[in-house]
Structure 1
Amino acid sequence: MEHRIHRYREREHHDRGELYELLDGEQFAVLSTVSDEGEPWAVPISYGRLGDRIVLHGSTGAGLLRAAAAGAPVVLTVVHVDALVVGDRGNGTSSNYRSATIRGRLQRLEGPEKVEALNALLDSYLPGRSGEVPQHTNKELAATMVCTLDIGEDNWLYKTRTGMPSAPDGEAAGWAGVIPLETRFGEPVPAPWAKGDMPASVRAVRPQDGGDEG
């Protein structure tokens, strides 16, 4: 199957740095495959990146992940919307976005590689967090499946749209422009049973004008 864009070819980019910037800025994706019965199968899933590999994890009983680990082909999809694009007419409404799809087959990890990948996944949520928590127990490792998806030379597609809405052929019918979208961390709320000071990984993502440590 060809992994290329046929319409708006200018939106297809081949810069691996741009791909990694998108992947590292997100935490959730959609993992898709086809079941043994030929039915489409997709689940939202958290992920991290370890070098040129995507790290995925889940329960050893997770159906799709188990099927993919057994050799079923998969595609991972990540999307981030940067802005709403408002045209002067209804058909000019769109969005500025960045998206990536990565195709391939998963490799299941065990032993030290599994622990390394789990730590990388944890640090993708909060950098440095794996060094602040106890190491994974044997029970936790036994109950958790960890797989990776290689980011090769030609198994990924990065697509983006930027800029303003298209200009009208004649006089504008009304207002048009771009509405940026922003996502940010709020002030951390400690659990009722939490103890100790707020860890460095959490302090690092607090709002700059946050209050005293909780």
Structure 2
Amino acid sequence: MEQFTPSARSKVKRIPKRGAYDAATVYSILDAGCIAHVGFAVDQQPFVIPTIYGRENDTLYLHGATTSRMLQQLQRGLPICVTVTHVDGLVLARSAFHHSMNYRSVVVFGTATLVPDDEKMHALAVVSEQILKGRWEEVRLPNAKELKATSVVRVQIEEASAKIRTGDPGDEPEDYALPIWAGVVPMHTTFGPVQPDPAMETPLPTPASVAALYPKQGPSSGASAEDPSRDQA
């Protein structure tokens, strides 16, 4: 799919020039995150639940315990709304009214269906790779008991819209002469030094999936993936 066709429910109405409906933009925003807020209604009571997700093509996977209220409801085929947002900066204007944020967001509409048992392992791998690429290959995979205790639903993306704000503050023309500081304070997600589990029986090198998060400085101050003793310090 190259373009999502907006309808009344997915079309960006407030500042429509910030809206985007091409799949490349939507997918790039989804791929940059791993936490979504899932909205659904049960008996006219709305719920919005934060959860981990994974994307594969035009499908989102959501997982949780079989006892999860959200998963129990979603597998009935409920229509849902999934949102993902990244805040890229605080936009500080000269007036309080024109303060804003630079952001990238996506709203997805679809219907959740239960993933059958023979596809569950693949779906969980997609979610795992969304969180930390390569980690799935480094760990013990779920056993039969753990798979039985886990539910996964897929959400086929029926409609989606992105909304993006970038750039400087926009003040009223007469306010630009005011002696008030204005500008953008960028925001970024960073990873701190790794904290190896003290329950490990022997020191081990930082795994490749984690080391890849630190392409320049290494996974901890002065530590490297090949130096387990310094990782443990």
| TM band (smaller chain) | over 0.9
What stretches of structure 1 of length at least 5 have no aligned partner?
A: none
- Select the residue among 209, 212, 225 that pairs with 1:204: 212
8 Å contact 2:129–2:135 — kept in the other structure? Answer: yes
Secondary structure of 1:170's counterpart equals: helix
Secondary structure of 1:105's counterpart equals: strand
**2: CA distance, partners of 1:119 / 1:144:** 13
1:118 and 2:115 equivalent?
no
1:158 and 2:166 equivalent?
no
Task: For 1:127-206, list aligned pairs within 5 A.
Answer: 127-152=133-158, 155-172=159-176, 173=178, 174-194=180-200, 195=202, 196-206=204-214
Secondary structure of 1:61's counterpart equals: coil
What amino acid maps onto 1:175 in structure 2?
W
**1: CA distance, partners of 2:172 / 2:94:** 8
> How much has 1:181 moved relative to structure 2?
0.5
> How much has 1:83 moved relative to structure 2?
0.7
Aligned position for 1:61? 67
**1: CA distance, partners of 2:32 / 2:112:** 22
> How much has 1:207 moved relative to structure 2?
6.1
**1: CA distance, partners of 2:184 / 2:18:** 18
What stretches of structure 2 of length at least 5 have no aligned partner?
A: 1-7
> How much has 1:14 moved relative to structure 2?
1.7
- Select the residue among 91, 103, 113 that pairs with 1:107: 113
8 Å contact 1:97–1:161 — kept in the other structure? Answer: yes
C-alpha RMSD of matched pairs (Å): 1.5
Q: Residues 76-102 of structure 1, C-alpha deviation per residue, up to 9 Å, x if partnerless?
A: 111111111111011111101111111
- Give percent identity, aligned residues only: 35
* Distance verdict in 2 for CA 1:73–1:57, change over 3 Å: same
> How much has 1:171 moved relative to structure 2?
4.4
8 Å contact 2:95–2:175 — kept in the other structure? Answer: no
What amino acid maps onto 2:11 in structure 1?
R
Equivalenced residues, count: 211
8 Å contact 1:59–1:143 — kept in the other structure? Answer: yes
Q: Residues 41-89 of structure 1, C-alpha deviation per residue, up to 9 Å, x if partnerless?
A: 1111011112221111000010022101112211111111111111101
1:47 and 2:53 equivalent?
yes
8 Å contact 2:93–2:99 — kept in the other structure? Answer: yes
Compute the TM-score of the two structures, normalised by the length of structure 2: 0.86
8 Å contact 1:186–1:207 — kept in the other structure? Answer: no
8 Å contact 2:95–2:171 — kept in the other structure? Answer: no
**1: CA distance, partners of 2:175 / 2:114:** 58
**2: CA distance, partners of 1:171 / 1:165:** 11
Compute the TM-score of the two structures, normalised by the length of structure 1: 0.93
8 Å contact 2:74–2:153 — kept in the other structure? Answer: no
Task: For 1:28-47, list aligned pairs within 5 A.
Answer: 28-36=35-43, 38-47=44-53
> How much has 1:151 moved relative to structure 2?
2.1
